Amino acid sequence: MNKKAKRIIALILSVGIIGTSLVGCGNNEESNGGEGLKNTELKLQGEAVSSDKVVTTLVDVQPPPAFNGNPYDTAGVNWSIQPLMFDYLAEFSAFPETTFKESLLESYTLENKVLTMKLKSGLKWSDGSPLTATDVMTNYYVNVGKSAVWTYAEKIEQIDELTVQITYASESPLLLNIAFALPIMSPTSVYGKWADQYKVVAETQREYKEATNTYEYTVEGQETLTNINNDLLTFKPDPKEVICSGPYVIGNVTTAEILFEQNPEYREDIYIEQVRGLRPGSSEAFATSVLEQQYSLENGGLSIDMAAQVDKKYEETMRKVFIPELSQIGFAFNASKYPVSIPEVRKAISLATDRETLISIAEPGSFLSDTRNTGLIPSLIDNYTTDGFVDTLTDYNYNLEEATKVLESIGWSKNKDGIWTNEKGEVVTIEIATINSWPSLMLTSEAMSAMLKEFGFDVDFKPMEGGTIWSYLSSEDAMIGSTFLGGAGTYAHPWEAFNNILTSTRIGLPQLEKGEDRILTAPSTGKEYNITQMLRQLFQATEKEDIEKLTEEFMTLLNDLSLFMPVIEKSAPLRVYDTTLSLPEGESGQLQSSFYYFGSMNQMLAKMIKANELYFTE
């Protein structure tokens, strides 16, 4: 590490930012990997014992009174706690290989674009009423306009009380992913009146597009969806009255926590009777909770300093593993905002940013992402490209001399004060916005700002509160934003990463008219790419050669456009504090490759609990 990088790091750390966040961002390559921890046994030798002990985990929900029982409301029972309350038809993991393990389903078959799903018999909702194929249909209908399944499904039919069948318009290796992505959380007794309205849209207000083998909503359908959605969002039931299909129901809610109690009608006997979900509160409150050992296990993000404190405090007892997330953090350029509307400016900023230094100050579990700005995380690149392809792309790794050449090529120069000016001699300000309470985003953004100032840019560093930053980054006012983009945690497929980037409002592409294809031009070659068609083709491609060809075309284009500068490929640290809690087999201190160690915190927890792989011992 050079002296300039060390000076920048010292400057950033001197402000005392040791904050935490509620979503784990993992471990950097240099420290806090858990190497010094003495307790390395994940699956304990003792037998499971009946215990009134409560498993305490981390949850990310709004506090009362906003918190409510509508899973379709952002203030409701959201993604963070849904796995504890609602079961899935089948559960997905990308590791150690792509797996769909039946949960509510007894079986499924996919043949000739027809997916036939048969439920287990005797399933019940938490209120004792039968859970049948009718409820599954209700769940699919309520997700019209929300789920990708309605883009690719010709029709969804109930065959009998236990069987549902989806007929797709085209083949794709991702058909199972989109069918099984939704938790079953819409009992007909509660959501049937909305499902009936959504059904009309699904059956009469979608149009088939022969060119892409997909369906789009008509103008009338979009207007109808808006009205139904708005009405659905007025429904705000008491969280304690939510009818659940999963292992737990909500027993109590306070501003600080949620107590989940065992669902008396759940299909399996489970060892863990109660789960306590703690809201992290402020950074300081979360750090205090961790140091007071209020959690049984958690995956909250910690700065390097705080992670080291936690490792030291619990070095004799704590167990730690790292969870692959297939997600990444980086900097999105708003292509409609001057001067980052200019490709050369985006490339120069990338070249003037020492990403390896940024990794060294990021949270534990952070690994260097792709410095070629292709948008695809390194974990997927080798699996979806041909040998040697990435070496044909421009590498934007730290190179101040090259950054200078790129800016000078468009007529920019430094003034007498050493500040970069445009071709008109005007000083142009570079704005970098970030959330102020998330270590991997805040620290790397501040360090990047310092680097760009050292290089001669006039920089406006703009840390913002969590309540405003995300809407700001999606607005026309933002210039550069530290954000998550290009993740592939749902499908583990390049389509997901490229679709996530190229449909994001944070890169500032012009809004399309209905039915219009997205056409982007590579600045260096002038080649036009029909992004809309390419995304459809990649989604539907089944042959390895076709997937690789399309993946490499996207990477070539994004390498040239540099709309997103990846910095961190994330893994999440899972820290286990309770020494009597037995977990599935795994390798302590390492990145896991396991069905159980994949997904969000409470997705993992629910998978372990339902399989009786999580339990207390003597």
Q: The domain that contains 279 carries what CATH number?
A: 3.40.190.10
Higher pLDDT, 477 or 14: 477
Q: What is the mean pLDDT of residues 71-93?
A: 96
Per cent of the chain over pLDDT 90 is: 83
- Please check whether residues 462 and 542 belong to one and the same domain: yes
Q: What is the mean pLDDT of residues 321-341?
A: 96
Confidence at 436, pLDDT banded by 50, 70, 90:
confident
How far apart, in whole angstroms, are the C-alpha atoms of residue 484 and residue 330? Answer: 6
Q: What is the pLDDT of residue 29?
A: 39
- Please check whether residues 387 and 329 belong to one and the same domain: yes
Q: The domain that contains 185 carries what CATH number?
A: 3.90.76.10
How far apart, in whole angstroms, are the C-alpha atoms of residue 198 and residue 207? Answer: 15
What's the token pair of residue 185? Answer: 């959380």
Number of domains in the chain: 3
Q: Which of these three, 218, 237, 256, is where a domain ends?
A: 237
SS3 261: strand
Q: What is the pLDDT of residue 5?
A: 53
Full residue range of the structural domain in which residue 193 is found: 82-237
Confidence at 13, pLDDT banded by 50, 70, 90:
very low
Q: Which of these three, 215, 237, 259, is where a domain ends?
A: 237
In a domain, 16, yes or no: no
Q: What is the mean pLDDT of residues 196-207?
A: 98
SS3 track for 520-555 = EECCCCCCEEEHHHHHHHHHHCCCHHHHHHHHHHHH
Find where tokens 């977990």 sit: 583
Least confident of 76-85, 299-308, 487-496: 299-308
- Please check whether residues 332 and 427 belong to one and the same domain: yes
Q: What is the pLDDT of residue 21?
A: 35
Quickly list DSSP for 488-507.
Answer: -TTT-SHHHHHHHHHT-GGG
- Please check whether residues 557 and 587 belong to one and the same domain: no
Confidence at 364, pLDDT banded by 50, 70, 90:
confident
Q: Which of these three, 210, 237, 264, is where a domain ends?
A: 237
- Please check whether residues 508 and 445 belong to one and the same domain: yes
Checking if the pLDDT of 127 tops 60, the result is: yes
In a domain, 12, yes or no: no
- Please check whether residues 219 and 233 belong to one and the same domain: yes
In a domain, 14, yes or no: no
- Please check whether residues 87 and 178 belong to one and the same domain: yes
In a domain, 128, yes or no: yes
Checking if the pLDDT of 300 tops 70, the result is: yes
Checking if the pLDDT of 203 tops 60, the result is: yes
Backbone angles phi, psi at 567, to 5 degrees: -125, -50
Q: What is the mean pLDDT of residues 58-71?
A: 94
Quick: pLDDT tens for 471-513.
Answer: 899 999 999 999 999 999 889 999 999 999 999 999 999 999 8
- Please check whether residues 318 and 329 belong to one and the same domain: no
Give the helix, strand, coil percentages of the chain, each rounded to 5: 30, 20, 45
Checking if the pLDDT of 612 tops 50, the result is: yes
What's the token pair of residue 34? Answer: 């858990």
- Please check whether residues 320 and 294 belong to one and the same domain: yes
Per cent of the chain over pLDDT 70 is: 94
Whether residue 466 contacts residue 435, with contact meaning beta carbons closer than 8 Å, is answered with: yes
Beta-strand relationship, 429-435 and 458-464: parallel
Rg, Å, the chain Cα set: 25
- Please check whether residues 145 and 289 belong to one and the same domain: no
In a domain, 4, yes or no: no
Q: What is the pLDDT of residue 51?
A: 75
In a domain, 77, yes or no: no
Q: What is the pLDDT of residue 445?
A: 97
Q: What is the mean pLDDT of residues 522-541?
A: 95
Query: Within a 10 A sphere around the Cβ of 297, how many other Cβ atoms?
Result: 22
Checking if the pLDDT of 245 tops 50, the result is: yes
Checking if the pLDDT of 282 tops 90, the result is: no
How far apart, in whole angstroms, are the C-alpha atoms of residue 222 and residue 219? Answer: 5
The distance between the two most distant Cα atoms of the chain, rounded to a whole number of Å, is 79
Confidence at 285, pLDDT banded by 50, 70, 90:
confident
Checking if the pLDDT of 394 tops 60, the result is: yes
Q: The domain that contains 374 carries what CATH number?
A: 3.10.105.10
- Please check whether residues 415 and 530 belong to one and the same domain: yes
In a domain, 17, yes or no: no
- Please check whether residues 258 and 337 belong to one and the same domain: no
In a domain, 13, yes or no: no
Quick: pLDDT tens for 167-200.
Answer: 999 999 999 999 999 999 999 999 999 999 999 9
Q: What is the pLDDT of residue 18?
A: 32
